[in-house]
Amino acid sequence: MAFWNNRASEENVQAAPKEKGAWIFKLLSYVAIIGIFVDIAVFALALARAIPFTSTLLMWMAIVAVVCVGALQALPWIKYLIKKENKVISIVNLCFVGLQVILWVTSIVIIISIWNGLKAGNTELGNYAGRINFTRVALFITIQCIVASTVMSTIMRYKKKWIPFQIVNYISILYIDFYLSALMFCFTVTADGLGISRGLYIIANTIVLTLFFIALAYVVLSNSILNGGRRRRRRSLLANTELGGEEETPKAKETTQPSAKERLENLKEMLDQGLITEEEYNEKRADILSKM
């Protein structure tokens, strides 16, 4: 009976990558990897003057880069959908990613058209006011999407844990958002030319600028440190679910190692807490059952 249970567990592990929607995850992964290599190869050829470095080539390289970044941004949310977790939040974030890609592909085309106009001798910025303002709005919307996505992913990752850290993290993210948004709208382009708001003097204040860099450093470093700690804890917990080596005597195993039931319970608890994936759970469960 145990043999058939083990066989079923192994089959479940092998079938995991074939879950519904997994092909989208693989497709986007390939698109991102291939796109990055294509961009690097084309850039290298352009530097070597094997191909002419034109505005059209630059535009397509930038579009490929935007699509690759969008694909990488979408991967974690598609993974949630494959596992049938946090469906609404995942769909919302995928919509954010799609909106960002559309806005930036359009902005790239606009920026290249402005560049071509300047090269042609049309140097009056007022003639490009509408296009420049569209690009600025696109950047503003992108920042809001990234902020919303970051906040939602932090909530999903830590839930009710590390509350003080989360509060400081959200305040830091909102401050970064406010600073960058205010900086963008300090500059205006009208038919009369480039205008600078008095708000720029506040944004450029030493204290305000220092707080911005502190908030940015906190968000980057604290997430990196906590993610590293979570990975180490997960590896440690997974190691604790393993059975001892073959050299140990049965008596030593009984006194130093938890039972298979306890290991399975610990494994399930780790899955419920989000410390391991469904695939890792199935693999470890099958391993424990095979050694019973």
As a whole number of angstroms, the distance between CA 60 and CA 63 comes to: 5
Asked if residue 206 is part of any domain, the answer here is no
Burial of residue 246 (number of CB atoms within 10 Å: 0-12, 13-18, 19+): exposed
- The mean pLDDT value for 210-239 works out to 75
Question: Model confidence at 117, in pLDDT bands (50, 70, 90)?
Answer: confident
Q: How far apart are CA 209 and CA 217, in angstroms?
A: 12
Phi/psi zone of residue 21: left (φ > 0), alpha (ψ -120 to 50 degrees), beta? left
Q: What is the mean pLDDT of the chain?
A: 77
**Amino acid in the structure at residue 254:** E
C-alpha distance from residue 184 to each of 109, 187, 208 (Å): 20, 6, 15
Is 86 contained in some domain?
Answer: yes
* DSSP line for 189-221: EETTEEEE-THHHHHT-HHHHHHHHHHHHHHHH
DSSP one-letter code for 69: H
Residue 77 counted as domain residue: yes
Q: Which distant-in-sequence residues (6+ apart) come within 8 Å of 10 by Cβ?
A: 286
288 belongs to a structural domain: no
Question: pLDDT tens digit string along 118-127?
Answer: 888 777 766 7
Question: Between vectors from CA 87 to CA 234 and to CA 152, what angle results, nearest 5°?
Answer: 65
Q: For 104, what's the count of Cα atoms within 13 Å in the CB-facing half-sphere?
A: 23
Q: At what angle do helices 163-184 and 206-240 cross, to 10 degrees?
A: 140
**pLDDT higher than 90, residue 37:** yes
Residue numbers of the domain that contains 10: 1-123
Count of the separate structural domains present in the chain: 1
Q: Of 232, 96, 237, 229, nearest to 153 (Cα)? A: 96
Of residues 208 and 193, more confidently modeled: 208
The one-letter amino acid at 161: K
Which three-class secondary structure state does DSSP give residue 274? coil
Can you give the pTM of this predicted structure? 0.65
| pLDDT tens column, 3-34 | 333 443 343 433 344 566 678 888 888 988 99
Between 179 and 8, name the one with better pLDDT. Answer: 179
In this predicted structure, which of 99-108, 134-143, 189-198 has the lowest mean pLDDT? 189-198
Residue 51 lies in a domain: yes
Q: Would residue 7 count as lying in a domain?
A: yes
Instruction: Assess if residue 150 is contained within a domain.
Output: no
Helix (H/G/I), strand (E/B), else coil: 16: helix
User: Taking a C-beta distance cutoff of 8 angstroms, is the pair 32, 71 a contact?
Assistant: yes
Query: Does some domain include residue 261?
Result: no
